[in-house]
Amino acid sequence: EDQVTQSPEALRLQEGESSSLNCSYTVSGLRGLFWYRQDPGKGPEFLFTLYSAGEEKEKERLKATLTKKESFLHITAPKPEDSATYLCAVQAPPGNTGKLIFGQGTTLQVKP
Amino acid sequence: DGGITQSPKYLFRKEGQNVTLSCEQNLNHDAMYWYRQDPGQGLRLIYYSQIVNDFQKGDIAEGYSVSREKKESFPLTVTSAQKNPTAFYLCASMGLEGTDTQYFGPGTRLTVL
């Protein structure tokens, strides 16, 4: 069964304290891995798409990496405005239906 | 501005009532999706549609119905058969050529009174 697991469930950091969020997946053929940011009461905001092992993408203080079994979202010198829930999702065959399988999310709190 | 709109933002339903959640997009995307989000759980797929007048059940379709009469619109009806409808409902859309990224609307929070 295709599955996505994110850890930790919650993470508290001091401003400037770098850390990483983990997304482990088991799918029968990965088409793509997606990271979203979600603020309370709002829809997810797209961050990154990764397609193959070894791929990396960066945006401001965020860097996403991908291996054959997991993805990491590295947060460098976070600021309070980075506080949010970060969602990981994978897209697997069959076909190009676009169906995503989501993890339960990691809620990040950055204290000033 | 291009984007996805959902209405209403908050919706209250009495037991036994059907309610319809609206989702509209002006991104010219072919595919549209409905997800349900519960506290501490990942998003779960309810229904999706890749072309007008065609849609498929997702993982938790029981108690829900949809229609796709226009490319821009994909309304979701929560029927009285849905036993636990209180949740945050999210609509998404995706172009079927080039990018395969889903973009989400702002969501509708449904509460059963």
pLDDT single digits (tens) B1-50: 569 999 999 999 888 899 999 999 999 999 999 999 998 888 999 999 99
**Tens digit of each residue's pLDDT (9 = 90 or more) over A56-100:** 999 999 999 999 999 999 999 999 999 999 999 998 776 667 789
* 3-state DSSP assignment of residue A82: helix
Closest Cα in chain B, distance from residue A98 (Å): 7
Which residues does chain A have within 8 Å of residue B99's beta carbon, measured at their own beta carbons?
49
Span A34-51, average pLDDT: 96
Alpha-carbon separation of residue A48 from A34, A60, A73, A88, B99 (angstroms): 6, 12, 10, 10, 12
Residue A5: the pLDDT is 96
Determine contact, residues B1/B103, Cβ cutoff 8 Å. no
Contact between B42 and A104 using a beta-carbon 8 Å cutoff:
yes
Contact between B42 and A36 using a beta-carbon 8 Å cutoff:
no
Residue A96: the pLDDT is 67
Which residues does chain B have within 8 Å of residue A101's beta carbon, measured at their own beta carbons?
42
Interface of B with A in 86-105 (CB under 8 A): 88, 90, 94, 96, 99-105
Interface check B109 vs A, CB under 8 A: yes
- Nearest chain B residue (CA) to A42: B106
**Is residue B63 predicted with pLDDT exceeding 80?**
yes
Name the pLDDT band for B57 (thresholds 50, 70, 90): very high
Determine contact, residues B91/B4, Cβ cutoff 8 Å. yes
Instruction: Please give the span between the terminal C-alpha atoms of chain B, in angstroms, as a whole number.
Output: 35
Name the pLDDT band for B98 (thresholds 50, 70, 90): low
* Least confident among A10-24, B5-19, B63-77: B5-19
Q: What percent of chain B has pLDDT over 90?
A: 79
Residue A98: the pLDDT is 79
Q: Edge-to-edge strand order for the sheet containing A3-7?
A: A3-7, A19-26, A70-75, A62-66, A56-59
Residue B2: the pLDDT is 67
To probe the interface with A, which of B7, B41, B74, B100 has the most A CB atoms within 10 Å? B100
The backbone region for B53, taken as left when phi is positive above 0, alpha when psi lies in -120 to 50, beta otherwise, is left
Determine contact, residues B64/B83, Cβ cutoff 8 Å. no
Name the pLDDT band for A28 (thresholds 50, 70, 90): confident
Q: And the tokens for A67?
A: 């291996």
Torsion angles phi and psi, residue A50, rounded to 5 = -125, 140
